[in-house]
Structure 1
Amino acid sequence: MRKRGYHHGNLKQALVDAALKLIEEKGPTGFTLSEAAKQAGVTPAAVYRHFEGREDLIAEAARQGYEIFADLMQYAYDKGQPSSLAAFEATGRAYLAFARKHPGHYIAMFESGISVNRTPELAAVAQRARNVLERAASDLSQRIPPEKRPPPSMFSAHVWALSHGVVELFARNSPGTQSPFPPEQLLESGIGVYLRGLGLIAPDD
């Protein structure tokens, strides 16, 4: 095999791309650095020019995933404006869309056991993504009387947890957990129940 990486000028990204493919195929703990190097077309020793170990490689994949995720969440939020309700619901749907389109990044971010505080860069971009959903929650919660208003961080965490649950159980082909309803419908109805409970949308007739 011809060894690339030394000449194409982007060895680090080639390794991340290789890791993402392996993460999708084998999970975050199912591959070695040597396999990532082979996939990228370089020697195992070349990996250590950029990463101290497999966790560092996965952390970089997660960081790049959060960059995509934060941008997608921001786009969804902006597209839903000026309606605070539409913006909030759009961010929930964006979570599901991201998990489907970027499974390797999603696994690196949420299923690898890598802490978002592993590096300052990873922590910062993860917070940027959370901030979008918290801002959407804060906008929408202004319609709730102050004495009944949940903190935006709690509000957004509930919807994040709901979105994550739908993804994990029904949108990633988990064995034995197929739903008779599309994941999008499950998420929309779940968010609807939550928002009705807060009095933010009218109850069904």
Structure 2
Amino acid sequence: MSKRGYHHGNLRQALVEAALALITEKGPQGFTLSEAAKHAGVTPAAVYRHFVGRDDLIAEAARQGYEIFAALMEFAYNNGEPSALAAFEATGRAYLAFARKYPGHYQAMFESGLTLNAHPELATVAAKAWAVQETAARQLSHQLPVDRRPPVSMVSAHIWALSHGVVELFARGAPGAQSPYPPEDMLEAGIGIYLRGLGLLPPDS
């Protein structure tokens, strides 16, 4: 059998890549360790040299996903340039772009049922990504009077929830075909409505 993911003896990464392919095809709960081993071109016994079980393998796929996600969020934020508003909106769009480009990682991170409390390494790297979103929210909320500023963590969580909802309902799989508008437009409009409600955008004329 061809060892598709088995590059330069890096069996651990080959298994992660096999898991990502299977997650994309079948979902996080739709494959077995034996299937991942077969996909990587090794015996099932070889998997246990690197992972104690399927959840451990999925957790590593999720960890790598969070690393990519954090890097994309940093790139989108762009040190708050060219403006606080543009940087904040860009982090929302980065969520949508990540889900589309890295569906296996996305599902391992958000649809596998893994908890950050059970996997401290996931919590650490996930915090890097959410820290970018919170920084963007903090920079933008500073334009509001102190007595009208909602908690930064709340603003960040609201945009995360909005982005996640658009991804789940309209940007992934068959439901995406049912959307009357492009997911990017729906996300932009939703963020605009939210920011107007906070007083960070002028009302429509």
User: Scaled by the length of structure 1, what TM-score is found?
Assistant: 0.95
In structure 2, the residue matched to 1:113 is: 113
Tell me if structure 1 keeps the 8 A contact 2:74–2:132. Answer: yes
1:118-166 CA distance string (max 9 Å, x none)? 3322111100000000000000000111111111100000000000000
Does 2:106 correspond to 1:144?
no
State the shift of 1:2 in Å: 5.8
Gap runs ≥5 in structure 2: none
State the shift of 1:8 in Å: 2.9
Q: Partner amino acid for 2:167?
A: V
In structure 1, the residue matched to 2:202 is: 202
In structure 2, the residue matched to 1:56 is: 56
Superposed, 1:19-30 pairs within 5 Å as 19-30=19-30
CA distance in 2, matches of 1:58, 1:180: 34
Tell me if structure 1 keeps the 8 A contact 2:7–2:14. Answer: no
CA distance in 1, matches of 2:104, 2:80: 27
Does 2:71 correspond to 1:71?
yes
Tell me if structure 2 keeps the 8 A contact 1:3–1:42. Answer: yes
State the shift of 1:5 in Å: 8.1
CA distance in 1, matches of 2:76, 2:3: 41
User: Scaled by the length of structure 2, what TM-score is found?
Assistant: 0.95
State the shift of 1:175 in Å: 3.8
Q: Partner amino acid for 1:67?
A: E
In structure 2, the residue matched to 1:38 is: 38
- Structure 1 pair 6/26, CA: closer, same or farther in 2 (3 Å)? closer
State the shift of 1:177 in Å: 6.7
Moved more, 2-11 or 162-171: 2-11
Tell me if structure 2 keeps the 8 A contact 1:14–1:40. Answer: yes
- In percent, how many aligned pairs have the same letter? 75
Q: Partner amino acid for 1:123?
A: A
- Structure 1 pair 98/3, CA: closer, same or farther in 2 (3 Å)? closer
Q: Partner amino acid for 1:113?
A: G
Superposed, 1:11-26 pairs within 5 Å as 11-26=11-26
Q: Partner amino acid for 1:198?
A: L
Tell me if structure 1 keeps the 8 A contact 2:28–2:112. Answer: yes
